[in-house]
Amino acid sequence: MAILHTRIKLGARRTNMKRLEEIINRVMIDHDDIDLIYLPAYPLTGPIVGYYPNQKVKNMLKNYAERLNESEIQQNQTFMSVSKWSHEFGIYVIAGPIVERAGPRLYLTVFASNPQGELAGKYRKIAITKAEDENGLTPGKNVEIFNIKKKNANVGVFIDEDLGYPEIFKALSYMGANVIVGTMLPYESRFFKMKSESETSILTLDIESINNFLAVRSKETDLPVVLVGGAVEGVNNNGYVAFMPTITSEPEIGVVKERIMGYDDIDLPVIIEVDTSAKSLQYDSITKLVLKNLCRKSGSEENEEEI
């Protein structure tokens, strides 16, 4: 698995698409055994909530929203780019979150494209923040793992605020994940406070707190947990406005400090070998009943357009 630790420019779809394509091409030339590429958060648009004036956010979310249902997916610019890369290199690509529209509702959604360029599953962020709720976003209901069929590897996914909820990670373990990967960029939440670096005014988070959460989630599930960070570039050539390191945590040792990707590592991939023999923890019958409600496959929902 190759994780792209890179930079995304706010609102610059073409620039972001071109940069990601160049990095993916380089990764596939240098590493011919890659089965999966994991893109940074908001891969084409950059983040929205917390990065624009509050009065603009609702309209921006609606304008950036894309559909992932079969009949309209070819109008989804993000999916079509990801699908092209998947098909060209014969790999899986996981992307998101993006803003997904389903009926009248908006979600923050991670999706996967398979080597045939087809939609291979999606996960809607469960733990939305207060700001996301106030701006019209809806929480998802179910966790999701993506199966990399060629190697029979199961990748569990999460999105920023999900990190604060052990139930989500235990549910991913219960479903058979071999590794859990999620994206995070600086944002305001009940768990993590966004702040500015004193010297540069670049937005960031309390990394020590993030490391502690990652170490605990990895220990609880007995699985490696990877946080995909990166940089956010402002408009008008303002340089970086936010930055988050990419961090890997292992169950036995916690955060692997020598593998933390910082400013100097921007545009470099993180290559991770997933141990498909890793077994999920066994849970007692009561815990299984609690987790089961989170673990319904996304395709089993009733007509989401009418919910």
72 in a structural domain:
yes
Residue 301 located in a structural domain: no
Mean pLDDT (the chain) is: 90
Give yes or no for residue 306 having a pLDDT over 50: no
User: Would residue 165 count as lying in a domain?
Assistant: yes
What pLDDT is attached to residue 175? Answer: 92
Instruction: Report pLDDT digits (tens) over 197-226.
Output: 878 889 999 999 999 999 999 999 999 999
CA neighbours within 13 Å on the CB side: how many for 260? Answer: 14
Side chain identity at residue 57, one-letter code? V
Residue 305, pLDDT score: 46
Confidence band of 93 (pLDDT split at 50, 70, 90): very high
CA distance 6 to 205: 17
The answer to whether residue 225 sits within a structural domain is: yes
Give the C-alpha separation, 290 to 293, whole Å: 6
Residue 293 confidence (pLDDT) above 80: no
Query: 226 pairs with which residues across the strands?
Result: 181, 248
Q: Is 142:295 a contact under the CB 8 Å cutoff?
A: yes
Q: For residue 77, is it within any domain?
A: yes
What pLDDT score was predicted for residue 292?
A: 61
Q: What is the pLDDT of residues 152-185, one digit of tens each?
A: 899 999 999 999 999 999 999 999 999 999 999 9
In terms of Cβ atoms closer than 10 Å to its own Cβ (0-12, 13-18, 19+), residue 199 is exposed
Residues 108-131, mean pLDDT to the nearest whole number: 96
SS3 state at 148: strand
Alpha carbon dihedral 199, 10, 164, 307, in 10-degree steps, equals: 160
Residue 24 domain flag = yes
Two structure tokens written together for 160? 């920023």
What is the Cα–Cα distance from 43 to 9, expressed in whole angstroms? 9
The H or E element spanning position 145 is strand 145-148
Contacts of 34 by beta carbon, 8 Å cutoff, 6+ apart: 1, 2, 27, 28, 89, 91, 271
pLDDT number for residue 281: 58
260 close to 254: Cβ distance less than 8 angstroms: no
Question: How far is the C-alpha of 261 from the C-alpha of 248, rounded, in Å?
Answer: 9
Q: Which residue has the tokens 């994940």?
A: 177
Residue 8 lies in a domain: yes
For 246-263, write each residue's pLDDT tens digit.
999 999 999 999 999 999
pLDDT for 303 beyond 50: no
Count of domains for the chain = 1
Angle between helix 13-30 and helix 77-89 axes, rounded to 10 deg: 20
- Whether the CB-CB separation of 68 and 109 falls below 8 Å is answered with yes
Q: How many CB atoms lie within 10 A of CB 285?
A: 6
Neighbours of 146 (CB within 10 A): 24
Q: Is 151 exposed, middle or buried (0-12, 13-18, 19+ CB in 10 A)?
A: middle
pLDDT of residue 295: 66
In angstroms, rounded to a whole number, what is the distance separating the alpha carbons of residues 44 and 97? Answer: 10
Token pair listed for 194: 């966004």
Predicted confidence (pLDDT) per residue in 40-81, tens digit: 999 999 999 999 999 999 999 999 999 999 889 999 999 999
**Sorting pLDDT into bands at 50, 70 and 90, what band is 277?**
confident
Which tokens is 26 given?
């380089």
Residue-level pLDDT at 156: 97
CATH code of residue 274: 3.60.110.10
Range of the domain at 118: 2-296
306 inside domain: no
